[in-house]
Structures are given as C-alpha cells and as structure tokens.
Amino acid sequence: MPVATIIGASRGIGLGLAESYAADGWTVHATTREPKHPGDLGAVAGDLTIHGLDVRDPNGIAALAEAIGDGAIDHLVHSAGVLRGVDREEMMAVNADAPFNVVGALFDAVARSAAKKIAILTSQMGARRGGGTPSDLYGESKCILNDRFREIEPKWRAAGVTSVVFHPGWVATDMGGRGAPVSVRESVSGIRRIIAEMTSEESGKFLTWKGTEHPW
C-alpha cells in the first residue's frame, strides 16, 4: 500500500488526514508532540505509526527521518501550524521554518516513492493583498512560508517531486473555531483529492481545498 506521512496529526486537519488515509488502507506515519498521550490519534484504526515530534526540534526531525530509514513516502503533508498564543520566535519557527526543515529531512523518502507528492498547509492570511506583507504575525509567517516555497519548489520539481501549498479553507478546528463553515472532513477530502490528482503541471501552485488557485 502507498505511504502517507502527516506532520502535526494530534488534532484538527492533520488528525483528519491521518484518519482518512488510514481508513483507506494506506500505511501512515503520523506525528504528535505527545506520543505517550496521543489522544484521538491513538484511537485511529489501521496501519498507523505514531512518532513524537516537535517540529522546532532538529534532533526530532532527524529521528523521524531515521525511523523512516530507506522507506518511501508517497504523500507528505505538513499540517502543523500555530495561529495564536506563542511569541514571534515560535510562530516563525513552526509556520515558516519547520516545513522546510521537515521536508528537507524527508525529501529523499518522497523522491524514492511512486507518487512523489508534498503538500504544505499555508493560509490565505499569508497572501499579499495589494502588494504588502501581511501586518499580523500569523499572516507574515505564512507569507514567508509561501515565499520560501516558491523559491525552493523548482529544485524539488527538478528532482521529480510535485509539491503545492494549500489554503485548507476556514475549517472547524481549535484554530479555526467551532463555528467555521468548513468541516475537517470536507477540507481533508478536498485536500486528499487534489493531492491524488495533481501532476507536475500543478507543482509550485498555491491551491485552495476546492482546487482553485489562490493569488500569492
């Protein structure tokens, strides 16, 4: 079976992705900061391995890469992110730096897979409406993520890997709030469908969970 690796799967969209891939029989590697108390992630049925990872920790990232070893990752999804309650350093480390540290460590595993696909969850809040960098910390961090993605993606594509960044919708999670209009199930289903269908033609795009292109 194909292999999915979901970074930040303790809650929210990452948990929904892990559940969805596992339910379809995929082999799933899912990360959480609390592997000894995995909560809902621990209850996911299927071929799922839980790894402990704080995405700010280079040793943890290296340990995850080592655990995967010479295995392959067909779909790698980086969902971990923070919106509030952290200082600037943590916001930038989690939202803008970690996706590239994680992908860097796992890239060879993706490149040796059959599907070779990477998706990083960004946000519409990171878009430069009218030219300027978003003035709020979260928007700025996602804007930096988007800029870095556009810079590095051609290198990933040259290695045969298809990658995109996603706005997952305004989703009913702890981050999005329970009143948000899009359910985790809807967002996950859209994201999964698009990853499955995307070809190298789509690589480098900023997509929404509905498959439309989002302006940078």
Out of 40, 47, 54, 147, the only residue in the binding site for ligand NAP (CB under 6 A) is 54
78: helix, strand or coil: strand
The CA–CA distances, whole Å, from 117 to 6, 171, 177 equal 12, 23, 29
Q: What is the DSSP letter of 30?
A: E
Q: Which stretch binds ligand NAP (CB under 6 A): 50-58, 62-70, 129-137, 192-200?
A: 50-58
**Residue 61 tokens, joined:** 């990232």
* CB < 8 Å & 24+ apart, contacts of 45-53: 46/22, 47/1, 47/22, 48/18, 48/22, 53/7
- Binding to ligand NAP by CB under 6 A, coded x per residue (else -) over 8-37, reads x-xxxxx------------------x----
Is 82 one of the binding residues for ligand NAP (CB under 6 A)?
yes
> How far is C-alpha 107 from the geometric centre of its chain's CA atoms?
14
Q: Which stretch binds ligand NAP (CB under 6 A): 105-113, 152-160, 173-181, 189-197?
A: 173-181
Q: Quick one: 111 or 148, whose CB is closer to ligand NAP?
A: 148
Q: Which stretch binds ligand NAP (CB under 6 A): 65-73, 102-110, 170-178, 196-204?
A: 170-178
58: helix, strand or coil: helix
Binding site for ligand NAP (CB under 6 A): 8, 10-14, 33, 53-56, 79-82, 94, 121, 123, 167-168, 170-171, 173-176, 180
